[in-house]
Each structure stands twice: as C-alpha cells, then as structure tokens.
Structure 1
Amino acid sequence: MEYLSIDGQRFYNMIVNASNKLEEQKDFVNSLNVFPVPDGDTGTNMSLTLKSAVVEISNVKGKSIDNVSKDLAKGALMGARGNSGVILSQIFRGISKGLQGKNKVNSSEFTLALEEGAKAAYKAVMRPTEGTILTIIKAAGEGAAKSKKENITELLQEVCDYSKRMLDKTPDMLPVLKKAGVVDAGGMGLLIIFQGMYEALKEGIEEVYLKKAEDIVTKSSAKSVESEEIKYGYCTEFFIHLKSSDISSFKDKLQALGDSIVVVKDEDVLKVHIHSNDPGEILSEAIKLGELSKIKIDNMRQQHRSILNADGGKTPLEDINNDSEGEGYISQESVQDKEYAFITVAAGKGIKRIFQDLGVDYVIEGGQTMNPSTEDILNCINKLNAENIFVLPNNKNIIMAANQAAELSDKVVKVIPTKTIPQGITAITVFNPGEGLEENINTMEKAISTVTTGSVTYAVRDTEIDGKDVKTGDILGIIEGKIEKVGKDIFEVCDKIISYMVKEHSELISIYYGKDCNEDEVNSFLEKLEDKYDDIDIQCYSGEQPLYYFIVSVE
C-alpha cells in the first residue's frame, strides 16, 4: 500500500509487526553465532529487547510519532539484554532523535531518522567493527538516502534490499564469519526488524498485537563469544557534566590510551566507558571538559534469561527454597537495613544453592542462554535495603546490563565484573563484612583475577574454529572462552582441560557438574583426579546447570 507519511499509530504497527517477526525467527538468528556451543543468544536478546520496547509503547492512542519513538527508546534501554540488545537500544535512541518534534513524517524525514539511528550506534562504540549490526544500520540509512521513493512502503523495500546485499558481504569483512560460513547474527536480526516494518506497510496492517509472552518466548539457545586477551586492565566509567565542547579532541586522546571505548552524549552530559591501564590519566583528561560524577573503576584482569510473564515486566527470579512460588530468593536480613547486600546471576539449582549458602540476597536465574535485562537487575536493586549493593553478573554478556542498572539506581551499587560462576563464588568467598567498601572491591577484583575457568559442553554444528575441526555433537573443552580440546567423551575432555589449567602453584580445583551427568560416573572421575593431583585440593559440587556438563575452575 502507499503511505506518503506515517504517524504514531502506523509506526507502532510497524514496530509490533517487526517484534513478532523477529520472535518467530530468533532461533535462526541464534544459529548464526560463530561459536558452536548450544547457547547462541543474539536473536533471543534482540527479540526480548524489542519486546520490552513494544510493551512501553502499548498505549499509543493519539500520540505523535515523536512521543511513540521516545517511549520506544526508553523501553529498549530498560529491556536491553546482552551486547546486541544494548546496540539495538542505541539505534532506537538515534531514530527517536531523528523523529523529534514530529507528529508524522514523510519519506525524507524517515530517512533522516534511520541515518540518526546509525550515527547513534556508531558514536556509542568508539572503535566500530565492520561486518556487524553497525554495518547494517549504516546500510539502512544509506539505502534510504539513495532511494527517491516518496512512498514509504517502497522506500522500506529498498532499505531491506540494500541492507540484505550488505549483510551478504559481512563474511568478507570478518574472517571469523567466513570460516564459520555464516553472516553476522546481529545484522540478520536488524534486517528481520526492517523486513517486519516493511511487511506492516505493504500489507496495510491496521491492527497488530504483540503475541503473549507464553506464545513467543521459549527456552532458547544463548551465545558465548570468544573472549579476547585482556590488553588493558581497568574498566573506567564516569559522567562528565560538560563545560567545554572540545569532545572531539578528548575522543582522540582516548584512542591512544585504551580500547573498548564508548562515548555517549546526552544534552550536556557525556557518558564515558574505556578499558585502559591508567584510569588516573583518563580522569585527568576528562576533568578538563567539566565536572565528573559516578566514577567507577573496575580491575578486570581475569565472565537469563528466563521466561517473561505476560505483563512483560516481572523480574525473572526463582525461589531457591521453593521453586513453585516463582519469586526470587531473598535472605531474612534483606528486608532490613544493612551495610552490604549481594545480587548474583546463576543457572542450576545446585549453583544457586551455593550462592544462597554464601549469603547472597537475590539470585536472578540466568547466565548462558538467559541474559537478564537492565530492568530485571534494577528491580532487584530496588527491593534491597542496604548501604552498598554488589552485583555479580557471572557472564560477560550481562555486565553491560548490570552496569546500566547501577547507573539508573539512586543507591550505591557496585558491579564486580565476574564473567563466570567460579569468579562469582570466589568474589563472595573473599568478601569481608568487616572491611570498607573500597577495600572489599579491591579484594574481590584481585581474587577473581586469579581464577581460571573452563567448561565442557557439546557442539551444535559443524565448523572450524581456533584451528580445530568441529563436528556436530563433538564434546568441547573450553578455557576462558577458547576451545582447547575437541573429543567424544566428557570425562576425557574435562581431564584434558584441567591438565591445561593446572599450573605449578595451583592450590584448588573446583568442579561443578551439570544436570546431565551421572553422579556415580562423576565420583569415579573424581577419584582419578585426586590420585593425579594429590597435592591439590579438589572440591566437587552438583551444580545442576543446563547445557554444560562441567564448569571447572583452578586457583
């Protein structure tokens, strides 16, 4: 159908249809993740992020496209899950900026909004990598700009075609995609969103409803991308209340001082994130631009999603003592004011029980295959009465959402950047309630840097990665995010990665076996390990975690 302009209601229909389309194809997007383990979650995270955004704009009657897009951006921010979800929220933030002040827009104005979406995404990532979702949002803007169509339906068709051609080129931009024989998962997710928007206009959909959560949200697979060697040891985040406008020069200086740089400007406030080896030098440059606030420095040296309720907003918590209640575990002390409280993310009844025994106040069910949203974590924070609240993400793909929740809270919230379950357990173990806040932060961060984590799972598809030929069903031994051993037997693979992880001064091996392991076989394996490493303390727990036969740490 022909649409020379779109208003708030029409834009709402486009977005809801896009959300439903992405939900239908999220498993396909998940399958495009390069790492061949059973937890590719790009599609899941993008779908849940978009669904959260749609819930925010459910009351659209009489609203302008400006107001609808603002609410959409807010919903995406709060519901952002994983790195792909965070980037998607930035895209919507940019589109909202492009639609600002408009009751409805024509094709030229809609084109400008897409271009603003690309600008916002690229600005948020200091060193953008081509061949990713960033390339596709840029292509969408370029495709719209090249089009001369006044009919927005035809314009979006050309946007989809142009973005699809660019997506097909992503394997040539990223060798890791070519080796795996896939296009970029995040880029595919974004293309599906645009296709859903186009479909709503093409078919003239007048009424479209977001499917109920129980219909569209299913247990799915989530990703664990390859971890990279940490070149810079400190994660520094802060806000600058700008007095100077020389942002460009500041960005140039950051380039030479670190990586993983994100700089986002919102009116007169600049949010900065950078990994460097000298946080003091970063702050010295930053203070030249204005007053600093919410400074957070993490020592990084050394990694849920659960089914949403129909209201789309309930925190995905599980009662460790009584799973049937569906609420989060909360210690008796948590309802009272106290100095310290803990929130952690974990999957597997045994692992969650370990955190409970260590005094954790809330356990959010999640981790691999389940990345909780910013709002999920923030809801837990708001329920705790404590002077200082620690959040342990226990997964590298949850850290960004945890940091965002901390920033949105008016409480003192510190995210300890734990990337694995063993790191989270170690952090709580070394926590000393008799020490001050900064002393505990330093102690925990130092402790997690000494933890080496391995895991044993299975391959979900054929591929070649890390120089190894992997076939579907092979058993994979992974150390710090890299496949180190491919085999056929879970115990042989686990034994091998432990041998790689144990060093001259290693003192403790901790093993958490999953729900698919046979307890008698595990005990026999444990006896062999005790004979092999008779000078090292070995501890073994039933973690009951899904997908991973073993999670192992060596300290």
Structure 2
Amino acid sequence: MANLSASQIAGALRYATDWLGVFREQVNALNVYPVPDGDTGTNMHLTMQSVRRELDTCDENDMRSVARAISYGALLGARGNSGVILSQLLKGFSEAIRDLRDVSAQQLTHALEAAQKSGYGAVMKPVEGTILTVARETAKGARGGTVTEVLQNALHAGREALARTPEQLPALKQAGVVDSGGQGYLYVIEGMLGHLEGRELPEAPKVESYAGEQFETEEFGYCTEFLMADATMPIEQIRELVAPFGDSLLVVGAEGYVKGHIHTNEPDDLLATVGRHGRMMRTKVEDMSEQHTEILAMAGAASRAEEEVPQSGLVAVASGYGLVKLFRSLGARIVSGGQTQNPSVQDIVDAVRSVSADKVIVLPNNKNILLAAGKAVELLGDKAVVVPTRTLGQGIGAALAFTAEATAEDLVSAMEEAAKRVTTLEVTRASRTTSIGGLDINEGDVIGLRDDELVHAGGSSEDAVVAMLQAAFEGQEIVTIFSGPQVTAERVDALKARIGEELPEVEVESHPGGPDLYDYLVTLE
C-alpha cells in the first residue's frame, strides 16, 4: 500500500483501539512508574475509545475532519499520565496529516516524528525509559517505500527501544519489566499495522502477576485530573501555576480545552486554584494509596486458583472524587459519568462484566442514564438488574443497603426503599435564560434542584442550599454536603454554620469531591 486515505487512517485507529484493548490488563500489570498509578493500559485504552467515538461521527472522506476527530477525541478522553501523553502523541500525528489529501510513506514517517515531538513538548521534565523514549525511537525507525513498511520498521525500532527501558529506569529493572506506557504505544502501532495487513485480533494474554506489588506508595497521595474550557491564561502559565502542587505533571491543550494531570497531596486547593482561570468541565481525584492496595489485591487474586464468588455485586455511575470514594467504600465498581457525561451502554456492560458475582445490581444515579442502564441489563440477560436511582443521593441510600452476601433478588426491594428515603438537593448554574414553573432564570444564575426538579433560582449557592433544606425538612436527622471543585473550604464551613442555626436538630456532615459542574450536592435523610 503506497498511500493511506482519510478513511483508512480512521479504520486503522479504530482497529488499534480494539488491539490495545486485548492487551489492556497486560499493560496494567507492567506498571511501576509512578508506582501506585497502576492503570496505564486502561487509561490508554479509554483515550483511544474516545478517539474512536469522534471518528464515528466525523466525515471519513475528509482528512481535516479525521485529524480533528483524532486530536479532539484524544484530549477529551485522555485519562491518567499515560493517556494524556498518548493524547499529545496523537495530536502531533493529526496535525501533521491535517492538510493532506492522503498520506504517503514519507508523510507517515513525518507524522510519527511530529507525534513524538508533541509528546516531549507536553512534559515539563521528560524521563527517559518511558513512552516518550519509545515514541522517539519508533519515529527514528519509521522508514520504507510503503506505509506498511514504515509501520513495520517503526514497530521493530520501538520494540528494541522498549527492551532497553529497564536499563534507563531502575524501577523497571528492579521489577523485571519494560515500561508500560511504551508497551501500550507499541500496541497502538501494532494495531494500525494489523489493520493494514488484515490480521485478526489475537487472544488476550493471561496475566500472572502485577509489577506494582513490589513497591510502596509514593510521596503524593492523589492522582488529580481536570478538563477546563474557556481558559483565561496560556497553557504554559497554567502549567507553571500547578507545578508547585506535586509531580507527574502534564498540562496540555487542543481545540479550546485544557487538560491537566498531577500527583498531589492538595487536590482541593489545586482544583480551586485552576478553576479561577476557566470553566471547569470535568475533574477526577483518586486516592493512590487505594489504587496501590487494589494492585496488591489483583496480584493476590491472580495467584489464587479458586476464589469464592459473592452472591451480589454492585455497579454505580458517579462523578466527583468524594462521591466515587464513597461508592467504592460501599462495594461498588464505578462507571464514570453523570450529568453531561452520560456513559454508554457498552461502558455499563463492561463494568458489570468486570465484577465477580453471581448477579450485579446497577445504580444509574441519573434519570438520563436509566435507559442506557436498562439496555445494558437487557444485553447481559440474568447477569444484572437495575435499581432505578434517579439521583446520586438516591444512589447513596441504595448503596448503603447493599451487601454482597445477600442475593440480588432479596436486595432490590430493600435498596429501592432505601433510595426513596433520601432527598437530593443539587446546586448548579443555569446554562441558558428561560422561565420554568414560575421561576425567571438568566444564564449563569444559581439554580437549585430537589430530587431532580427545579425549585430555586437566584442568590448565592449557599442561599439555595439553605432555602431548599428549609422547604424539604420533615424531621430528618442527617444532612450531608458534597462540595464541588470550585467551592472553598471556608465557604463550606460557613454553610454548615448557617444550617446549624436554621436547623439545629440535624447533624451536618461535609465532604469535598462533589459532582463536576455543581457547587453542592446535599442529601437529607
């Protein structure tokens, strides 16, 4: 094959997504750098899946449209350190092909070189022996008279570079593995080549051990990510702004968005600082000590020949690291999503299939996700059942009634009743000017929702919480506040004091890490 058309580029990247998916857990098992951030394969695969979603909606006969789908999809879907770097490799690649009618062997070589330059440019302190090294050497080896030969030679050079990574990073040598990000990148290249050569997807390799089990957790405790729109300062200045908060720093941008990743001990302060300079679209904070514990648990599971399967498992849709942490502590496997971030049917199906249990209960936690959850359960047959929670508050109530030792049939009615006993109050901002139910609302106004129904407009976010609590109070005992990334600890403390004065009979708890785009999510029970 001499040249690649736009549709062939799109097809190759779709197939590369599936190819990487086959080896996802193997790549996860390789991860040792940074030690606790042990989901490299998953993060890279999620990034590629986002690219595929954008490719599915673009004009495949137009190279500029395909290039934008690659760059835009990669940035929006980038997860973790490895996913963000992969997004920048794909950004460089897409920019190199954007103005071409089709891609020749020489132009493909140039695109792979542009990819590695973009990857290195995104990292403040590049480390050799990582995905960046492998990408650079892959580009150096990319030579040939046809596009197939270019990828074959690039892959050969990349594999040689990958084999040398243990000599460049002591942690890899200690664990006896190659770099996980570099391996993941080569699976993307290998998948593209496999598409052009007409090869079938291989069988997934069996994972026997996890390299991360050999190491202790690192200095910084939280893997923190953000996606911001309408930034009011250049990316370079945002990068300098967040650099003092920790390490493993990446701040990149494309198509008007800024994506950030950092390991820090101060995720709330970090997100509040960044949030002053743009519109926060999405955040994620994960406790890396818990990630490391999960790695050890996976390693232990891999070494056991048999393990008793619980009667029931739990899958919950959630966003906001505080809510995610709570659902995890109650035994749930998390599907990332919620308002404006609805997961696909496949996302829910994949999560259910990853749970080891006789039957899995799914909590949609949003009225817009009920249909997708129902369709997922249809596809899964008798493997899963939905408890139709319409809010995150209802989901918390239902999850508190969950126990893995009981059958799903016995749990469903109890969880549904528990969900009904929780009142959910949400405070956010109006996305447009309108008039609903006698409330005149201007774009940007504070609005309040009670059990997903609009009941308040105007004033401050704290005013909305207090007014809705007063209207909803019917002798309940506990108020739990989850604050969003843009809300400071001082504001939360002041709100708790106001609630204590207005409703002295209730106990008030507060936690950071509420849903993205919301100032507050409050439960009353």
In structure 2, the residue matched to 1:139 is: 137
Match of 1:15 in 2: 13
**Is contact 1:23-1:216 (8 Å) kept?**
no
Partner of 2:246: 258
Q: CA deviation at 1:166?
A: 1.3
Does residue 170 of structure 2 align to residue 175 of structure 1?
Answer: yes
What secondary structure is seen at the aligned counterpart in 2 of 1:349? coil
- The equivalent of 1:433 in structure 2 is 479
Output the CA distance in 2 between the equivalents of 1:80 and 1:411.
31
- Flag the 1:269–1:180 CA change in 2: closer, same or farther, 3 A: closer
Query: RMSD value over aligned CA atoms?
Result: 5.6
Aligned residue identity for 2:426: E
Q: Distance in 1 between matches of 2:227 and 2:10?
A: 34
Tell me by how many angstroms 1:7 deviates.
0.7
Instruction: Give the aligned residue type for 2:157.
Output: Y
- Structure-2 change in CA distance of 1:338 and 1:197 (3 Å): closer
Q: 1:234 to 1:92 in 2, by over 3 A?
A: closer
Structure 2 letter corresponding to 1:197: M
Q: Which residue is 2:160 aligned to?
A: 165
Matches within 5 A, 1:225-304: 225=212, 226=215, 228-231=217-220, 237=226, 239=228, 241-245=230-234, 247-248=235-236, 251-252=239-240, 254-274=242-262, 275=264, 291=278, 293=280, 303=290
Cα distance in 2, alignment partners of residues 172 and 184 from structure 1: 11
Residue of structure 2 in register with 1:349 after alignment: 404
Question: Aligned in 2, Cα 1:78/1:320: closer, same or farther, shift over 3 Å?
Answer: same
- When the two structures are aligned, how many residues end up with a matched partner? 363
How many angstroms apart in 2 are the aligned matches of 1:351 and 1:130? 50
Q: Does 1:330 find its partner at 2:405?
A: no
CA distance in 2, matches of 1:345, 1:150: 59
Letter matched to residue 68 of structure 1:
V
Identity of aligned residues (%): 26
Pick the aligned partner of 1:118 from 116, 119, 127: 116
Counterparts of 1:404-443 in structure 2 under 5 Å?
432-433=478-479, 435=481, 437=483, 438=492, 443=510
Q: CA deviation at 1:136?
A: 1.7
Q: Distance in 2 between matches of 1:284 and 1:156?
A: 43
Structure 1 contact 7–103 (Cα < 8 Å) conserved:
yes
Q: Structure 1: which amino acid aligns with 2:217?
A: E
Q: Report if aligned partners of 1:167, 1:188 keep a CA contact under 8 Å in 2.
A: yes
Q: Is the 8 A contact 1:6 1:105 kept in 2?
A: yes
Which secondary structure does the structure 2 equivalent of 1:117 belong to?
helix
Distance 2:126 2:67 in 1: 25
Q: 1:195 aligns with which of 178, 182, 190?
A: 190
Which stretch shifts more, 98-107 or 226-235?
A: 226-235
CA distance in structure 2 between the partners assigned to 1:110 and 1:319 by the alignment: 47
Change (3 A) 1:285 1:68: closer
Distance 2:221 2:119 in 1: 23
* Greater fraction helix: 2
CA, structure 1 residues 122+295, in 2 after alignment: closer, same or farther (shift >3 Å)? same
SS of the aligned residue for 2:230 comes to strand
Q: CA 1:118/1:348 → structure 2, altered by over 3 Å: closer, same or farther?
A: farther
SS of aligned partner of 1:263? strand
1:369-518 equivalences under 5 Å are 387=426, 432-433=478-479, 435=481, 437=483, 438=492, 443-444=510-511
Kept in 2, the 8 Å contact 1:66–1:100? The answer is yes
Give the distance between the partners of 1:16 and 1:264, measured in 2 at CA. 23
User: Looking at both structures, which has the greater relative contact order when contacts are Cα pairs under 8 Å and sequence separation is at least 6?
Assistant: 1
Residue 264 of structure 1 deviates from its aligned partner by 1.7
Q: CA, structure 1 residues 8+131, in 2 after alignment: closer, same or farther (shift >3 Å)?
A: same
- TM (norm. structure 2) is 0.51
CA apart distance, 1:187: 1.4
Change (3 A) 1:385 1:87: farther
Say whether the 8 Å CA contact 2:131–2:179 is kept in structure 1.
Answer: yes
**1:305/1:219 CA distance change after superposition, 3 Å:** farther
Measured after TM superposition, the shift of residue 69 of structure 1 is 4.1
Distance of aligned partners of 1:295 and 1:177 in 2 relative to their CA distance in 1, 3 Å threshold:
closer
Using the TM superposition, give the Cα deviation of residue 175 of structure 1 relative to its aligned residue in structure 2, in angstroms: 1.0
Counterpart amino acid of residue 248 in structure 2: S
Equivalent residue for 2:148, pick from 150, 153, 174: 153
User: Structure 1 pair 27/243, CA: closer, same or farther in 2 (3 Å)?
Assistant: closer
Code of the residue aligned with 2:254 in structure 1: it is: D
Inter-partner Cα distance in structure 2 for 1:49 and 1:295: 15
